[in-house]
Structures are given as structure tokens and as C-alpha cells.
Structure 1
Amino acid sequence: MTVQYPFLIALAVVGTGAAVLAYLRLQRRRTAALRVAGLGLTAAGGRGAVRRHLPYILFLAALPMLLIGLARPSAELPVPRVSGTVMLVFDVSNSMAATDVEPSRLAAAQSAGANFVDQQPSTVDVGVVIFGQGGLLTQTPTDDRAAVKNAITRLSTSGSTSLRQAILTALSAIVGEPVELPTQEDAAPPDLGYWGSATIIVFSDGQETESPEQAQAAAALAAAAGVRIETVGVGTPQGTTVEVEGYQVATALDEQLLTDLSAITGGTYHPARDAAALHDIHRSIDLRITTEPEYIELTALFAGSALLLLTLGGLLMIRWYGRIV
């Protein structure tokens, strides 16, 4: 703990000591006077002693607290807050043009993403990744909300889907270097360090065109780095058709794969089968609560404690003696 006016701490020590000595001297004089008058031959005890001394003890205890409060004390305390990095990852493959979620899967995901950004505190940096067959970082993590929302509004659909690339691109943005899966089955995964304050939120219909095992391996890499993946399913299990290069292609939400990816990292799958559910998705996604050291002024704490002691002592005096002495 530090104080702005250290001399008041010395004054609190000296002043409290002097007040205690003065009170003890006053009590000795009072006892002597009672003995001379023949009224103090038997020392008071029990409840009488408590009533006699407790109010004054409370008053004396309040004195150093008041002086310490005036010294403007502060301390470095761990303060819980939502903080860290959130990567918003948007599926922009052709299937996201489907209209089983109005006005389209991608448009609904864009609206949900922008609303999510608006709800985040300034302590959270947000980045944007888009993915189809490959992944592309379109906005590095930043606290500039306008830049993030501009990156979200520029999305358009094309190509197929690689959730593996989506996760690896988001991980690369979090750790600050390219991240790839091992090329050999017996090779050790890369050591990415620990990024416990980072979260990846994937908006997708789960229509993976690569091997699901590759996406799960990428999720395991994220889990090893302490990064949690939250998945948001955009679409309906019944699905619909979408036109791709002149052909009508059936597409439906694959909830199982999205659920598996989030579960690997300790995250949660969030179904969002209509625009209203997507708009409120920020309410169901829990970000990381961390503690950060922050200097907190403790003046109010000491002043409030002193006031409480003075008030309690005064009330006891009024109740027991009918006055404040």
C-alpha cells in the first residue's frame, strides 16, 4: 500500500498513542477519585466494564482510520474484467448465400458479428478472419470498433469450405506467427505458448469440404494453446438449395462438426437458426474473465470504516447513558 501524504501516517500512530495514554490516565484519575469518595472500593466488571469502555474504544479506533484515509492510501489490487483477444471468423463459402436464414446466412452472420462488436468493452481487442477454401486475415486484432465493423461489412461469398484453414488463420493472428499442422502423423505439434485470454468465434454452416479430422486437429492445436473456440451454427438442419455456377446445390447446417470443434477446446456450440437468435448471440457467448493489477484508492474504505465506528460508538453512548460524552 502507498500513501500520498506519509506524514499523516506518522501522525496517526503518534496521535492514536497519545489518545490511548490520555484515556488510560483519565481512567486512573477517575478510579482514584471514586476511591477517595468511597465509591470505587469494588472494581466494576462484566457488562459494566463493557459499557464503560467499549464506546471509547470505538472512538479511539476511528481516529487512526480517519488520519490514514486523509493520507490518500492506494493499493495494487487484482481487478476482474473481460479482456483479451477475440477473433471473429466468418464462413464466406458459396453455401453461406443460402436464404434459410433471412436475408441470407452470410448477411445474418454479418449483422450478428457487428452487433457483437458493439457490445464488447474497450478491454477486448477484436480481429476478423474470413474463410472459404483458404483463410484470410482481413482485420488484425484491434480496439478500433469502426475498423472491425468495416471489415465485416465487406464480406461476400465464394468457393468451398475449410474449417481447418479458418482455425489456423485465427491462431496465426493470435500468436503473431504462421501456424500450420504437422505434415507427418508422428510429428510433434508446434508449441504456440499459452494464450488463455484469446477466443475464436466461428460463424459457419459447418458444410466442410475437407476432412473433418483436419478441422478437429486444428481445434486440438488451439486447445493446447489455451484458446477456446465458440461456434455459431448459421442455417437450419432442413436446409435449402443455393445456386453455384448455374447449378442448384443442396445445403444444410452441420451442427455435429461445429459442436465437436467447440467441445475440443472447452467451448460451446450456439445454434442460431433465425436472424433474431443471431442478433442476440453475444448474450450467450462467455468471454474470458481475467484479473489485471490496478491501483485503487482506499480513502473511501478507511473513511467509511471510521464513520461506522464513530456512529456505532455514539449510538452505544446514547443507548447506555442517554448522551454522547
Structure 2
Amino acid sequence: MTLSSPFLLVVGLFVTAALAWAAVVTARRRTALLARAGAGVTGGRPYLGVGLTVAGVGVLALATAGPAAMVPVPRTAGTVILAIDVSNSMGADDVAPTRLAAAQRAARAFVAAQPDSVDIGVVAFERGALTTARPDADHSVALKAIDRLKITGGTSLGTAITASLSAITGKQVAIGRDGDTPDIGYWPSATIVIFSDGQNRGADVEPAATLAQRANVHIHTVGVGTTAGTTVKVDGYHLQTSLEEDTLTLIAQTTGGAYHPASDAARLDGIADTIDLRLTVSDEPLPLAGGLIALAVLLLTAGAALTVLRSGRVI
């Protein structure tokens, strides 16, 4: 238990002790006077009312000190990085109006659904990932970053993961040429959500996912597009593009996250409800003053009532 004003408790206990001492002295004098007069004290517990009154004052003294109990409270908290694919294939319109526009809408809905206890950052990725908004409790920063996203370049899911880990840790994270992964520590309250069609250039996906798994960072992947696919125009050429779920599923399974297929706009709109973030348990103060004041009033009322009833009797 914690106290916001320990000094008030000291003063209150001093007053309570003084009242208790005065009550004891008065009771002894009264008993002595009755003994000299040849009378006895009747009623079994003649000083119960006084005792309850003193106890009420003591409880009230504790209440004025602002006591609070620390209780464990589970809540959604931590850091979430939204990694959004902005490669050329995300301009395909098999998810209306385009894959990127649908992913942006889903990402905005995801941000809107998160409590203030979650810091959200945004990473746009193609061949070279770019952190467009660092993790922040001000979710408007993430929303503005999402709105600024434009189509450019090719896809590198491995780079998306390492850039997201860089945003989480606050330092540059990279996979070595031989696939070696650095030690980035342990980040159990961090989550990455990747919005992508799964088309990937580069062989660093598996080591990047393993690095996230070793740091206990869960990655949820959201597949944007259809397996039937469509064509997209790039530099004057029409290229076939379709949703590749295998890589996205591998990333999610490796890191303890989940793959969320979203082949149409309606499923993307509801994606925020399907992604489970970390539940952390933190100790938060539970004020006890209200309950103690109620108990003090009860004791004082009972003490006053007993005192009045007994003082009206002939002893």
C-alpha cells in the first residue's frame, strides 16, 4: 500500500492516540468515582461506544493520508509498427480501388482502434525501407504518415522486417551478407503488422523473421490482393501480379504471429478486430480513501449512537 500524504497519517494517528488516552483516563476516573460511591458499572461493555468513536477517528486519519493499493491491471500496451508495402505491384486493382489504397484504409482503421497506451510507427517498404513515422503515442502522426504513402520500386519483405526492428529498438538493424543476425535484445511488448501482397525480391526474409522471433517480436501479416491476380503497368510494361501467401504465412508462423488473408476491401476493413496485440500487466494504484471514509463514518455513527443510548441510562 502507498500513501500520498504520509504526514497527514502521522498527524491523524497522533490525534487518535490523544483521544484514546483521554478516553482511558476518563474511564478510570469514572470507575474510581463510582467505586467510592459504592456503585458498579453496569451494561457489560459501557465503553464500547467510545472505543468505536476512537476507531472511527483512526480510520478517518488513514483515509486522509490518501492510501492506495497497487493492483495488477492487464491492458494492451507496447509498440506497434505498421509496415506497408508501396512497391509497384501494390498499384494493382484486384482489391478496389487499389491494393495500396485498401491497405491504407485498413491501416487507418487499425490505428483508430488502438488505445493511447500503444505507440504506433509506420514503415513504408520497397527495395529500401523508409521509416515515415517513428513509434509515438500521438496516433495522428501515424495517420498522416499513412496518408502520404505513394507507389514506388520493388518489394523486399526482409528489409521491411529489419527496418521495423530498427524503429522498435531505436538503432540500425541489418542482416549480414552471410545471413548473420545481430543481437538486438528482447522486445516482448513490440509487434509488427505487415500489409503486403507477398511478392518479394531478396533472400533475407527467413533470417529477418528469425531475428524478430529471437527478439520475441511477433509479426502479423496481412495479405492484400487476390491469388487470381491481375496485371499492373510498370514503366510501360504490363506485368502479372498476384497475392503470394506462402512467404507471408512463413513470416507470421516463424515469429508467433498470424497470417490474415484479405482478398477484398470488406475483409481489410475489419482487419483491426482480428489482430491480437500483446496484453501486458502493470501495477496501477487503486485508491482506498473512499472505502475507508465510509468505514469511518459507520464507526463514528455507531459509536455516537451507543454513547447516547448508554448516557441516558441510570447507572
Normalised-by-shorter TM-score class:
0.7 to 0.9
In 2: Cα distance, 1:58 partner to 1:238 partner:
80
SS in 1 for 2:155: coil
- Matching residue's letter, 1:154: R
TM-score by length of 2: 0.77
How far apart, CA to CA, are the structure 2 residues paired with 1:271 and 1:154? 25
| Other-structure match for 2:60 | 66
Deviation at 1:217, TM superposition (A): 1.5
The answer to whether residue 184 in structure 2 is matched with residue 192 in structure 1 is yes
| 1:244 aligned partner | 234
**Equivalent residue, structure 2, for 1:168:** 162
1:83 to 77, 89, 92: 77
- Per-residue CA distance 1:136-188 (angstroms, 9 max, x = gap): 22222233433322221222223322111110111112222221223335x5x
Q: CA deviation digits over 1:170-223, x for unaligned, max 9?
A: 1112222221223335x5x31111222221110011122334xx3122011012
The 1:253/1:65 distance shift into structure 2, 3 A limit, reads farther
Match of 2:271 in 1: 281
How far apart, CA to CA, are the structure 2 residues paired with 1:242 and 1:225?
A: 37
Match of 1:271 in 2: 261
Q: For 2:133, what is the secondary structure of its paired residue? A: strand
Specify which of 140, 153, 159 is matched with residue 153 of structure 2.
159
Residue pairs, 1:244-263, within 5 angstroms:
244-263=234-253
Of residues 221, 234, 240, the one that matches 1:231 is 221
Say if 1:135 and 1:165, in contact at 8 Å, map to a contact too.
yes
What does residue 11 of structure 1 align with?
A: 12
The equivalent residue for 2:313 is: none
Q: CA deviation at 1:68?
A: 1.1
- Of 285, 305, 308 in structure 1, the residue corresponding to residue 292 of structure 2 is 305
How many residues end up aligned between the 2 structures? Answer: 304
Asked if structure 1 preserves the Cα contact closer than 8 Å seen for 2:75 and 2:281, the reply is yes
Q: Which amino acid aligns with 1:258?
A: L
* Alpha-carbon separation, structure 1, partners of 2:297 and 2:267: 54
Secondary structure of the residue aligned to 1:243 is: strand
Q: Which amino acid aligns with 2:173?
A: V
How far 1:67 sits from its partner (Å)? 1.3
Distance 1:73 1:309, change over 3 A: closer
Between the aligned partners of 1:53 and 1:26, the Cα distance in structure 2 is: 8
CA RMSD of aligned residues (A): 3.8
Is 1:116 the counterpart of 2:103? The answer is no
Aligned to 2:261, the other structure's residue is in SS state strand
Tell me if the contact between 2:157 and 2:200 (Cα under 8 Å) persists in the aligned partners.
Answer: yes
Letter in 2 for 1:148: A
| Residue 75 (structure 1) shift | 6.5
CA contact 2:83–2:124 (8 Å) conserved in 1: yes
Residue 196 of structure 2 is matched in structure 1 by: 204
Matches within 5 A, 1:126-141: 126-141=120-135
When residues 178 and 39 of structure 1 are mapped into structure 2, their CA distance, relative to the original with a 3 A threshold, is closer
Q: After alignment, is 62-71 or 200-209 more displaced?
A: 62-71
Deviation, structure 1 residue 91: 0.8
Percent identity reads 43
* Residue deviations 1:71-118 (CA, integer Å, cap 9, x gap): 234567665543332211111122212222211111011111122223
Contact map agreement 1:168 1:180 (CA 8 A) in 2 = yes
After superposition, give the CA deviation of every residue in 1:209-242 in whole Å (9 maximum; x if it has no partner).
334xx31220110121222211111122333333
Equivalent pair of 1:63/1:306 in contact (CA under 8 Å): no
> SS at 2:121's partner residue?
strand
- The structural deviation recorded for 1:26 is 6.0
Which residue of structure 2 lines up, in the alignment, with residue 218 of structure 1? 208
TM-superposition CA deviations, 1:36-68 (whole Å, max 9, x none): 67989xxx8xxxx9xx99998776654322211
SS in structure 2 at match of 1:85: strand
- Hey, what's the Cα distance between the residues in 1 that align with 2:82 and 2:265? 18
SS at match of 2:89: helix
For 2:271 and 2:80, the matched residues in 1 are separated by: 14
What is the rounded CA distance, in whole Å, between the counterparts of 1:195 and 1:63 in structure 2? 49
What does residue range 141-156 of structure 1 map to in structure 2 within 5 Å?
A: 141-156=135-150
**Secondary structure, counterpart of 1:161 in structure 2:** coil
Range with bigger deviation, 165-174 or 112-121:
112-121
